[in-house]
Structure 1
């Protein structure tokens, strides 16, 4: 559970680092946006690295950690896309999420 919580926090920061500037920041100088994003991404690493170490120590494989991270990233991005960027959620987004969740299921079968 600790791994999932830390991966979720890291993805919130990473999604923000990558996409915050698309809403109202397009007129800001690119170099400044990059520096701000690097600062936000540093916080993301402070959650992601421990999440992966804790998960690996608990018996998760690297593949399981990665696919879980991707599933969380897609969920976090979906919320960010709708709540922050104001983009609509389509059936394609839900289908893509279902495919990622199927990948998670495949890697955790028999664990």
Structure 2
């Protein structure tokens, strides 16, 4: 059951991470955020990233096989990267209307293959 909790926490973590990294770009279009100097935007993003860490750190501690979890360190990293890309695709599609192109799909196929090979051994 730890594996489901780990994956759920990683999804929550990545939602905050993507918003901290890219959300300010969308918010700056029509917001008070556009008036902030770069340092202010960094602090704003850092405050959002704090919540990312509130999910990321427990996910890794719970999921790591050295702590009784279901995943090796490498598996945790691969899971996190795949979740990051899925969350990013959803975010960029909704917030920026970025179309998903064939080269993106091919890249995702290779990522799925990477997950397969990482978990195989």
Q: 2:16 aligns with which of 13, 21, 40?
A: 13
Q: How many correspondences in the alignment? A: 110
Alignment of 1:106 onto 2:100: no
Q: 1:51 aligns with which of 47, 59, 63?
A: 59
Cα deviation, residue 24, structure 1: 4.1
Unaligned runs of 5+ in 1: none
Contact 1:75 1:97 in 2 (8 A): no
Which protein shows a greater Rg? 2
- CA–CA distance in 2 between the matches of 1:24 and 1:53? 33
Alignment correspondent of 2:40: 32
Which 4+ residue blocks in structure 1 deviate beyond 6 angstroms? none
TM-score, with length taken from structure 2: 0.85
Alignment of 1:41 onto 2:62: no
Unaligned runs of 5+ in 2: none
